[in-house]
Amino acid sequence: MVKTDRQTLVSTNSPRAYQLRTLLPNYNMERPEQILLSKMGIGYLYLDEYLIFREMNRCAERFLGVTAKTLLDRQWFVICNLRPMDRNNLRALYDFFEDLQVEKQMEIKWTVKGCDRYLLFKSVPLECGSKNDFYVTIEDITVPKMLEANIKQMDRLSHLGLIASNTAHDLKNAFTCFKGFLQMEKANEGGSKSEQWHQYLEFIQNSLEKFSSFAKVEQQNHLELIYPQKPLQDTVRFLQGHASNKGIHLYFEDQDREIPPVVANELELRHVIMNLCINAMEASKQGGEVIVELDYDSEKGNVKIHVKDEGCGIPKVNLSRIFDLYYTTKKNGTGVGLYNCRKLIDSFQGTIFVESSAMGTIFTVSLPAKKAHSF
């Protein structure tokens, strides 16, 4: 069977093929499989055993922004000179084509007519007898990359909104408590203020630092072995001025027994208890009681912190959602307080759950007990 010029052109590396490519640069050189790849939006390059470009389809021309005449019958490194690119991209492209002996892939930023594209190169080495041929496919992944970038940006904006909401919530609680603290100190002149002032300022500083840490990679909390009695006592003492202003009795009980240490971030544990106590006081009527109770479940090996109030309780329909982000039943609530509490307790490998009835509500924080010097 005699081959046509077209068949000779697309299927051989003969001088005749080179002559036809030179004389007919716009001739359709694609075989059916190359056309299929083009229809699928996949570029195709074929290099012989000497790493000389021998074939490319129209899709590859479009992605690279060049005609076949620019690459065909030339050594592989000519592709590195097609477009100006930064050193990292150039190095990646050079490394990719320099060694096509193994299957691999590479993403690269490619500029065509002033527009940036992201291309995915994949190498497919084929051994045919004593010859090694190399095929490279090219996919335009610009749209997925842009979508990924947009999703990351949306996540960052959402994160920023959450940080802003958390900080506003924390500062509102802190200033409310500080107001009560000042009034209590005014009525109790001569009391020691330095420690409470230090705790308050540390809390404010921690809240404000959440903004500055937004642009940084999120790091794990600094956890340490702590005994929970003192942080709880200090938090309750700090809140008593606010409780007194509302006509509520706030107590701390530790069952007069030795409580083992837990692994947590002390400042963040104070933050959790402060949120739970403020919620309990807001749910309580004047003259009511809020009790912070510390206990140890020796059978399960858990330290438990209970925050109890005598309010009207939480409706059952709301119980399953109270830890959801932005869910709130308060008129001026932000819906981040309990969400943030659960997130912090999770980071301590603990749990937080709630029981509620018409007689009141109990929030329980359970943390794994540790042995001293075991962390």
Say which CATH number the domain at 263 has: 3.30.565.10
Q: Which residue has the higher pLDDT, 78 or 214?
A: 78
Among the ranges given (23-32, 147-156, 290-299), the one the predictor scored with the smallest mean pLDDT: 23-32
Is 250 within the bounds of a domain?
A: yes
Query: Are residue 32 and residue 134 in the same domain, yes or no?
Result: yes
- The reply to whether 161 falls in a domain is no
317 versus 366: the higher-pLDDT residue is: 366
Distance CA 365, CA 235 (A): 15
pTM: 0.49
Domain end position, chosen among 140, 160, 186: 140
Cα–Cα distance, 247 to 254 (Å, whole number): 23
Specify the CATH number for the domain of residue 32: 3.30.450.20
Are 94 and 202 members of one domain?
A: no
Nearest-angstrom CA–CA distance, 93 and 138: 13
> How many domains does the chain contain in total?
2
Q: Are residues 105 and 214 in the same domain?
A: no
Q: Are the C-beta atoms of residues 294 and 254 closer than 8 Å to each other?
A: yes
Return the top range by mean pLDDT from 2-6, 188-192, 283-287.
283-287
Interval 109-149: pLDDT, tens: 888 887 888 899 998 887 655 567 888 888 888 887 887 77
Please report the pLDDT score of residue 164 as a whole number.
63
Q: Would you say residue 106 lies in a domain?
A: yes
In this structure, the answer to whether residues 173 and 127 fall within a common structural domain is no
The number of beta carbons lying within 10 Å of the beta carbon of residue 149 is 11
- Residues 6 or more apart whose CB falls under 8 angstroms from that of 264 comprise 223, 224, 226, 228, 348, 350, 367
Band (pLDDT 50/70/90 cuts) for residue 289 is very high
Which residue segment(s) compose the domain that 330 sits in?
Answer: 168-368
Residue 292 has pLDDT above 50, yes or no: yes
Beta strands at 289-297 and 249-253: parallel, antiparallel or unpaired: parallel
Of 205 and 99, the one with more pLDDT = 99
Cβ(279)–Cβ(285) under 8 Å? no
What is the C-alpha separation between 334 and 275, in angstroms, rounded? 13
Q: Specify whether the CB–CB gap between 31 and 10 falls below 8 A.
A: yes
Q: Which two tokens stand for residue 240?
A: 């008593």
Digit-coded pLDDT (tens) for 152-202? 666 565 566 666 656 666 666 666 666 566 556 555 655 555 556 556 656
